[in-house]
Structure 1
Amino acid sequence: MINVKVMKVATTLGEKIKELRENLGMTQEELAEGICTRSYISIIEKNQMKPSAELIIKLSKKLGYDLRNLKESAHPASPYYEKLNQIETLLYNQDDREALKQLQEIPEDAVLPPFEKAKWLWEKAVLIALPQERWTEGESWCNEALQLLADSTELSLIAKVHYIIGVIRYRMGKLEDAFESFNTGIQVMTQSPSPSMRYLVLLYLNQAMIHNHWKEPRSALICVQKAKDLNKNTNSYYHVGDIEFHWGLALSGLNDPENAKLHYNLALQFYQYNEKATNLGAVYTNLGIVERQLGNFEESLQYLQKAIQHYQEASLKEKEENSRYELALTLFALNRYEEALETAKALHAGLPQDSPLLPNATWLIGEIYLKMNDLKEANRYLQQAYQLIVKDVHCPVNTKQLILTGLVSLYQKQDTPNLQTNYLEMLHESILGY
């Protein structure tokens, strides 16, 4: 049996205003200052007069709570009301371990009023669905939470739910749906009288992430700039490392490795002081790539080795494979063909048949053999790579062009002009986009 103090819950607009004012330690005179008279506040709190829409907005901003369209509630607070709020605070402070512990103390069959149940479902999505990759369940929980919040004025929570749905949909590969969720989250959060700047920054950064994924670096820069402006306008430092990282990604997409390197290094400085930095391995990998582009091959090797170590410690196999591929490319650029071949072959052997990296790894082995003048093995791997891109209609254009270019070079060396012309024509078609 849990002994919980029964709280009186405000059920009218006047009671809610009084409750919020007293919780803030504010007198009627202080609430009225710059808005209306003290006596008018008293009349409103006694429900003797309904304030105008304009006055409700002003009171909402001062009280930090959206009072618009507040409906009378017949739902008393549950025994878990304070615990749910505590979990939300722990999430804000990124103490996920303690938040999960608190969440597990709420029974699955607990009877909760609509708003509390919506918050509980959102917290389950954050603390259970995301870390355990239970995407379908997480999306279902969030959709149920939004249904419960349909008539709510708790805009900040609604925006947070849209954010988590966006993250889940991104992980599921539903990029367009994820982008729409982030966009809705931004619209809702900006309408809140007390918007969470931290979540707004996150929403814009996730939009930038998708734009970068879609190879739209200029649009990504616009989103990153909005996130940066939010911090500047509120003297905040939310997700500064992520801002610099996504800025670097956008500049890399614009083929500006020198300036991208500056932003990656800034991101690295912030991440090194943050044990929970999620993009640290990606920063190492991208620094390795831009250093290679700038001709700084030894620096490239160092960063890529750090990335591999980071991903090994975090048990992120797929990301580790990407870093190993980039490491093999750098070794190849250094003309260290034996090491590059060993690295590429080890990677190739461990990749599943449906890995999007498999065509690139197969191509690289063929390219290395081509440089080593082993034309038989070069032909074997380049043809394997070609068969992979023929089967995969979603294969990136740049990967197709790499493989076709390799085949053109191979048949030039073999002095087989018919085959060379055939693949050269396909390469031209790919470049021209038809």
Structure 2
Amino acid sequence: MKATLGQKIRELRIRKGLTQSDLSAGLVTPSMISQIESDKANPSHNLLAAIAEKLDTPIEYFLTDTETQMEKVSVYKIAKALMATREFDKAIEMLVDLEENPSPHVSSIDVAYDLAVCYLNTGKLNDATDRFESVLDSAVARNDNGIQLLVLNKLGELSYMEKNYPIAIHYWKKAYEMIKKGQLAELYLQANIIKNLGTVYYKLGEYNEALTFYQESNSLLTGSNHFKQIGDIYLELSFTYREMGEFEKAAEYSQSALSIFQSLNNMKMTIDVKAKYGIVKGETGNIDEAISILTQCMRDYADIGCETEVGQLHSDLARILIQDNRVEQAAEHCASALKFFPEENLDRAHVYRMSGQIASAGNQAEDAAEFLRQAVTIYQDVQAFGELVKAYSILGDIYKAKGDFKEAMECLEKMNEAMEENLRERKIVI
């Protein structure tokens, strides 16, 4: 196994008879050297160069393995970004490679958990189950209760999807027992685990058990801003009371659910107006004010469970920032927007098109072309011919800039075809 950067520095320091204080003199504190040697901190390039000089060693000796490790960190971040954009198949390839070639700078349990999530989202349920169980074993060995709760909940969901209700109960009950013993977890996760128990008991016709868990989940969320989840629980409570023949209570909880959902609609309308104002501010050049308004609107939408609207505002902000030539910020908002839009979604295609424009502006022709091809595929599938014309125009320019005139001409031909279809669709005679 290759030595880490910290191990290399420590070995050389000891070999040369230096203390941490000797090595740190004139550079940093001895405690910083201690952190670097234990791989808890990474030195800047200038500091590493100074350390190498003190140790009378070429800096390349330290950089070789460090660059390899940084490459693995980079690969992991790319895999996470692919997961955020729901490109799970591509993420799987990277995560499998990281698992087979581990790095001390990338948590092996995080890699395994993310790989299980990818398998789950690509329909490979057996692989997902095996991987989650492996992660659970590691979490138990490390006494990592937080990961245990996450994995137990996922295993319960997997079993429920496969209609294996007794096993789903086993996993969720185990998580529930951990919570009752005082294991802290994020509020929504706790409430979700307890609500899931209510759901599976309702499915089995054990309505008294279902009722108990629904009420407990509701009690946990009372006073929180998880309004949509509370409304969902009220709806589940109404179903349960109806099955138990308690129609008055069923009606009461149905009315409570209705009131929450109506309230959410009213709140949404208020945020909609504020968001439109923010967009107008951005389009008239008040970029910083627009960012402030729209960022707050995103938080407000998230509070009431309107995730699609959060994605839409990320997309709107990206468009405004592109117009102001703030391409790095625009790219960040594009990446965020993709987390909220499903595959084959028109909004997703718009984001791909903007991402292509950003990559093209940064002279990343291959990435730009790939983004535009993804946009084109969606526009074709949903027959958005007007948008398809714009996408082919940008893609053609990218190929032309690359000197790939054959592809550029094909884009021009397809753009003309899309333009004709757009005119037919609008009932304009050609």
TM-score by length of 1: 0.46
Structure (1/2) with the larger helix percentage: 2
TM-score by length of 2: 0.47
